[in-house]
């Protein structure tokens, strides 16, 4: 079975001048994981941050938070090892960005193997390499059958519900058949949605079968992030329970 309903605030929508504090605030409000958007100015036009920021966040926040790295980069192969060393927990690359998804999946697995604490170069910082999970993302124009051959080799499929690289876009409801098809064909797969997801659109995502919910401004800009996180999680959990009863 999929790992349960989890809510991951997109920290790119936070006050970037106080990024560590913002991450702590989200975790204190009940976030299940943190979604970190990495943009390189090539795969998408904008630029955000790289592995040095991830390393700093890991050092500040400790081992517990789950870092879901959304790698919107032109050469995802280049950053697997740096992100693994920095403390990433999941490396989510775009299918459109690589010519050899199978090799990249293998590389992520190999780089995510636990290191011996006594010889790990980061031990002085208080953490060791986590096991890296593999996420595979597709843009709105990419058909779900292009992802399907890799679905049994990954931990999570990310269905973008906006075009990657820009915040504030309108949720694309016509992406929901992709989520529904993946949930039907791969019932144990974690399925993430990202883009325009909030209280007004969560029902459509949950009913389609998404169980990992990325939400940016709806959470980060809310006066009560905890209530928004709880609402998203409750809707997602209720939809999952209903699917189980309907089988």
Torsion of CA 199, 201, 203, 206, to 10 degrees: -110
Q: Which of 32, 37, 107, 155 is labelled catalytic?
A: 37
Maximum CA extent, the chain: 51
Question: Strands, E, within 4-153: which ranges?
Answer: 6-9, 34-39, 67-72, 90-94, 133-138
Sign of the torsion formed by the C-alpha atoms of 56, 60, 63 and 66: negative
Q: Which of 32, 40, 107, 194 is labelled catalytic?
A: 194
Torsion of CA 208, 203, 46, 64, to 10 degrees: -90
> Which of 143, 202, 144, 207 has its CA nearest to residue 171?
202
Q: What is the DSSP letter of 199?
A: T
37 is catalytic: yes
Which of the residues are catalytic? 37, 194
């Amino acid at each position: 079975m999929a790992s349960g309903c989890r809510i991951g605030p997109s920290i790119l929508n936070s006050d970037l001048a106080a990024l560590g504090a913002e991450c702590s605030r989200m975790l204190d409000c009940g976030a299940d994981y943190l979604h970190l958007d990495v943009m390189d100015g090539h795969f998408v036009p904008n630029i955000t941050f790289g592995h040095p920021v991830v390393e700093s966040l890991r050092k500040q926040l400790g081992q517990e938070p789950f870092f879901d790295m959304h790698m919107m980069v032109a050469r995802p192969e280049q950053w697997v090892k740096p992100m693994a060393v920095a403390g990433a927990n999941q490396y989510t690359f775009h299918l459109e960005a690589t010519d050899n998804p199978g090799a990249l999946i293998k590389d992520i697995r190999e780089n995510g193997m636990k290191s011996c604490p006594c010889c790990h170069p980061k031990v002085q910082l208080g953490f060791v390499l986590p096991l890296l999970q593999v996420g595979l993302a597709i843009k709105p124009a990419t058909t779900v059958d292009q992802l399907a051959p890799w679905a049994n080799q990954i931990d999570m499929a990310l269905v973008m519900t906006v075009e990657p690289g820009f915040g504030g876009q309108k949720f694309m409801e016509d992406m929901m058949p992709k989520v529904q098809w993946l949930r039907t064909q791969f019932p144990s797969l974690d399925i993430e949605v990202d883009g325009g997801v909030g209280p007004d659109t969560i029902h459509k995502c949950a009913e389609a079968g998404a169980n990992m919910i990325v939400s940016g401004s709806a959470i980060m800009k809310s006066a009560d992030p905890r209530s928004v996180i709880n609402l998203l999680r409750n809707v997602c959990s209720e939809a999952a329970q209903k699917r189980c009863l309907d089988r």
